[in-house]
A and B are shown apart, each in its own frame.
Chain A
Amino acid sequence: MNINSKFKDFILTNLMLYLFAMGVWSFWSYFAFVGLDKMDWQGSIVYLPHGIRVLGICFFGIKSLPALMAAELTGPLFINPEQYMGVWSIASMASLASVLIARELVKYSQSNIKGSIVGPIKFENFRLLVLVIILSGLLNSISVNIIITYLEPSINLDPIVVGRFFIGDVLGSLVLILFLSVTFTSLRLNKLALPSSK
């Protein structure tokens, strides 16, 4: 692959991921912020944007980071500027790092087991992806809350909030993947999308 082709690949990956991320952010913001009092439901418990981080990093690797970072910074600003300014932007970088660490942990854990039931390391196997979702959710909930508490003294570290973050991230990622799966399957069954290469 020559440099020109690599550059095109990089631009295309980031553009596609950014647009997709912004779409999910807009969708999620509706549930999270718009008419929350009317719905009597805590939208943030299903944090869909975590799913984009997992899909982006697991399938596109480090080259997806610019798009994911841009989405982390502009997504919340675009929707609700007051709530996510300042320390939240730094915390969202920790969220991306937690997905990267989780991915590496999963890769490392499987590399030492011969004949592992979830091996080889291919994220087409969704069980591995679920493992990354759970691990990254755990790391994210702890790291983000520690950063927020450290940088914003008015906020206290609350285990219930950590738990809420974890559940939100895991549920959000699973819902996003499930939604994409059902959408893709329906498109394929109705011959609106080409079947995969299998």
Chain B
Amino acid sequence: MKSFIQNLNSILEMLESVEHEINLAGYSLTEKKVFFTIVQLTVKEGSCNITDVINDSNLSRSTVYKAIKKLEKNMLLNVKQSSFDKRESYLNVIS
């Protein structure tokens, strides 16, 4: 019985290592939530900034910042500073 569970666990470890290697689903639920919030706000409002994401997602500022940094690094997002207000940054989804 123990052997069966050990073998099954070996398969799961292998499947996990495949996922890590190809990074198909390497985003946490929070990161996915931030990404989907940005997409939804962009579709609804036409544009979206970091404060909008914080208000809409109810996540903390630091969590949203971290997620945006990762998404930007992975070329899923583009962060552009507003020309009117330098303190504001607009988020664009790279399609």
Contact = CB atoms under 8 A, between A and B. Distances in A.
Contacts, number: 71
Contacts of B21: 126
Nearest to A183: B15
Interface stretch (A41-49, A105-113, A150-158, A174-182): A174-182
Interface in B15-37: 15-19, 21-22, 24-25, 28-29
- Main DSSP-derived SS at the B contact region: helix
Interface string A123-136: 11110010000000
Contact of A129 (B3, B4, B14): B14
B86 to A, nearest CB: 37
Interface residues of A, number: 30
B3 A1 contact: yes
B76 interface: no
A86 B31 CA distance: 54
A174 to B, nearest CB: 10
B16 A184 contact: yes
A190 interface: yes
Contacts of B22: 178
28 contacts: A1-B2, A5-B1, A55-B11, A59-B10, A59-B11, A124-B17, A126-B21, A129-B14, A177-B14, A177-B15, A177-B18, A178-B18, A178-B24, A181-B15, A181-B24, A182-B24, A184-B15, A184-B16, A185-B16, A185-B19, A186-B25, A189-B28, A189-B29, A196-B9, A196-B12, A196-B13, A197-B9, A198-B16
